[in-house]
Amino acid sequence: MTLQLSHFSAALIFALFASIVFGITQRSERREMLKYGAKCFLFFVVGTIAAGWAMWILRH
């Protein structure tokens, strides 16, 4: 069985799981964990989209 993900969905799944671990391990309070995890996820996604556009601009 082989899993074929698109580049974007692979980046989204990566961001989701990495953000969960970062949130839990880098903060002490539950509310802070949620906030930090959400912030990490947002940075991952925005960073991915920004990098994608940057590569598109460089290509054209």
Partner 1 sequence: MAKEKTNVAESANVKSASKAPAQPMTAMAVVAPIVGWLVPGAGHLIQKRWGRGLLLMLSVVAMFVIGILMEGKVYAFNTGDILDMLGFVGDLGAGVLYFVVRALGIGIGAINLATADYGTKYIIVSGLLNIISAVDAHDIAIGKKP
Residues at the site binding partner 1, with contacts judged by CB under 8 A: 1-5, 7, 10, 13-14, 17-18, 20-22, 24-25, 28-29
Encoded tokens for 37: 């995890």
Minimum distance from residue 47 beta carbon to partner 1 (Å): 15
* Cβ pair 6, 19 in contact under 8 A: no
Of 2 and 56, CB closest to partner 1: 2
Q: Which residues, including other chains, have CB under 8 Å from residue 8's CB and lie 6 or more apart? A: 48, 52
Of 24 and 50, CB closest to partner 1: 24
